[in-house]
Amino acid sequence: MNINHKGVLKLTKMEKKFLRKQSKARHVLLKHEGIQAVSYPTQSLVIANGGLGNGVSRKQLLLTLEKCGPVEALLMPPNKPYAFVIFQTIEESKKAYFTLNGKEIIDDLGQKIFLYLNFVEKAQWKNMGLEALPPGLLVVEEIISSEEEKKLLESVNWTEDTGNQNFQGSLKHRRVKHFGYEFHYESNTVDKDKPLPGGLPEVCSSILEKLLKEGYIKHKPDQLTINQYEPGHGIPAHIDTHSAFEDEIISLSLGSAIVMDFKHPEGVTVQVMLPRRSLLVMTGESRYLWTHGITPRKFDTVQASEQFKGGIITSDIGDLTLSKRGMRTSFTFRKVRRMPCNCSYSSVCDRQRKATPPSLTESSKEALELEQKHVHQVYNEIASHFSSTRHSPWPRIVEFLKALPSGSIVADIGCGNGKYLGINKDLYMTLCRIMKNFKNVILFLVF
């Protein structure tokens, strides 16, 4: 900051940039989250770019904050690009505000992040998470020993001839092996009349006998799928086909822990931590009604408490952090169904659903209702989070816009939240949003 010849304070280019960034962070938090920043010092600060959604862990952020004084509480909402901190005194909060604003840190992925802090009257967050596992779901920790885990992993030979698709194959982002029966992904079923030679691996026998004896399963499985996941990869949400397999589906997590997402048809989502060497048991409602899947990402949001290992990830934002994924191998056992499924979940049961395909909508009103429910409503639900994670313009785009001659006309088609507006004020910038209905495509121009 300099003083010009008239005695007026003049901000440097970097200071102006910092104030713009800080102001933008303030407006984004107010617009998308309803968090109101205040102009006077308080004990509480909101830290833009310092959230779990940015790849910043609790330990990493605490080490940075505690240099300014003792932290009374650090609140980190899941998947959000910001966090709240409460210091013991206002003086310590002011020190953090002036010391850390605009400070560069390196996140857990090795990327540079700049923190922008604003005072808030009160640090709070409404917890909306479900605190119970889906009915019929069970997670058993340390179901096998480290020695048993090693034997299971060493028994999988991924280097054998992959030409025999009955035994081994490659899917997008993961390798798979099938035993007992080959699982056909195009139909999510098995050919019950074509068992694979050899049955299940002998190394699994003692473990399955143990699970039967201890009551975790009632039927001895006859089909096994082994999946190997690279860090950062996942599997789409799905329900194992009702008519193909019996009620019990069990899975061993080997090599690394993972967070699996379970979702009810009404929209309730539960995130469940599956520790290394744990057993997941799905029966009843959790097996037949809830979808399960693994979101592709390199870090999972988990409980920070040391005593926490497996089960539901609670919504306690004062106890969440990041866990880096490793190479994970899952052994998923199923029992092929021989009798028709007679479950109580006909709406998602492939046997009980009507064989005739759903009819096309017969009126414009029905089409509009479908569009409102499955397009507009979905976009409204994800808009805030989508926008909050798209706050940084891509450097190459910025470079391109700044290189254009003054007076150029630019149309940003599919503009999202318009983050490139104002990059070069000498341009005539047009934001274009595309909306599609059942009959045509409409291009909206926003000047």
pLDDT score of 390 more than 80 = no
Any domain includes 404: yes
Rounded (10°) CA dihedral 397, 399, 401, 405 = -150
pLDDT band at 124 (very low <50, low <70, confident <90, very high): low
Determine which helix (DSSP H) or strand (DSSP E) holds 387, and give its type and residue range.
helix 377-388
Residues 106 and 159 in one domain: no
Any domain includes 155: yes
Residues 328 and 384 in one domain: no
User: d(Cα 435, Cα 428) in Å, to the nearest integer?
Assistant: 23
User: d(Cα 417, Cα 424) in Å, to the nearest integer?
Assistant: 17
- Tell me which amino acid residue 267 is: G
pLDDT reported for residue 403: 83
Residues 199 and 252 in one domain: yes
Q: Maximum CA pair distance of the chain?
A: 92
pLDDT band at 429 (very low <50, low <70, confident <90, very high): confident
Any domain includes 409: yes
Any domain includes 297: yes
Other CB atoms closer than 10 Å to residue 31's CB: what's the count?
A: 13
Contact 332, 227 (CB under 8 A): yes
Beta-bridged to residue 114, according to DSSP, are: 104
pLDDT reported for residue 244: 93
Any domain includes 195: yes
Q: Which of 220-224, 291-295, 441-445 has the lowest mean pLDDT?
A: 441-445
403 or 256, greater pLDDT: 256
Residues 258 and 342 in one domain: yes
- Tell me which amino acid residue 320 is: L
Residues 150 and 284 in one domain: yes
pLDDT score of 6 more than 60 = no
Contact 309, 273 (CB under 8 A): yes
pLDDT reported for residue 8: 47
Residues 141 and 282 in one domain: yes
pLDDT reported for residue 119: 92
CATH of the domain at 30: 3.30.70.330
Domain end (from 89, 119, 149): 119
Any domain includes 27: yes
Any domain includes 57: yes
Other CB atoms closer than 10 Å to residue 174's CB: what's the count?
A: 18
Q: Which of 203-217, 231-245, 401-415 has the lowest mean pLDDT?
A: 401-415
CATH of the domain at 294: 2.60.120.1520
Residues 280 and 336 in one domain: yes
Average pLDDT rounded to a whole number, residues 222-248: 92
pLDDT score of 445 more than 60 = no
Q: Residue 158 contacts by C-beta under 8 Å, 6 or more apart in sequence?
A: 168, 175, 177, 228
pLDDT score of 130 more than 60 = no
Residues 160 and 297 in one domain: yes
Q: What is the pLDDT of residues 51-73, one digit of tens each?
A: 888 888 888 899 999 999 999 88
pLDDT reported for residue 387: 66
Q: Which of 16-25, 214-223, 330-339, 376-385 has the lowest mean pLDDT?
A: 376-385
377 or 399, greater pLDDT: 399
Q: Which of 180-184, 222-226, 327-331, 394-398 has the lowest mean pLDDT?
A: 394-398
Residues 253 and 319 in one domain: yes
pLDDT reported for residue 307: 62
Determine which helix (DSSP H) or strand (DSSP E) holds 248, and give its type and residue range.
strand 245-254
Number of domains in the chain: 3
Beta-bridged to residue 336, according to DSSP, are: 245
Residues 333 and 404 in one domain: no
pLDDT reported for residue 203: 94
pLDDT score of 237 more than 50 = yes
Residues 186 and 276 in one domain: yes
Domain end (from 84, 119, 154): 119
Residues 318 and 387 in one domain: no
Sign of CA dihedral 340, 169, 238, 271: positive
pLDDT score of 217 more than 60 = yes
Q: What is the pLDDT of residues 333-342, one digit of tens each?
A: 999 999 888 8
Q: Which two tokens stand for residue 303?
A: 């409980």
Containing structural domain, residue 442: 365-446
pLDDT reported for residue 437: 43
pLDDT band at 434 (very low <50, low <70, confident <90, very high): low
Any domain includes 2: no
pLDDT band at 439 (very low <50, low <70, confident <90, very high): very low
Given phi > 0 = left and psi -120 to 50 = alpha, else beta, which region is 438?
Answer: alpha
Domain end (from 348, 377, 412): 348
CA-wise closest residue to 417 among 443, 446, 395, 391: 391
Q: Report helix, strand and coil shares of the chain as percent, to nearest 5.
A: 25, 30, 45
Average pLDDT rounded to a whole number, residues 13-40: 80
Q: Which of 136-145, 164-173, 345-354 has the highest mean pLDDT?
A: 136-145
pLDDT score of 166 more than 60 = no
The label of the residue with tokens 């539960």 reads 270
pLDDT band at 293 (very low <50, low <70, confident <90, very high): very high
DSSP string, 273-305: EE-TTEEEEE-HHHHHTSEEEE---SEEEEE--
pTM, entire model: 0.63
pLDDT reported for residue 447: 38
Sign of CA dihedral 166, 232, 74, 121: negative
Rounded (10°) CA dihedral 217, 219, 225, 226 = 40
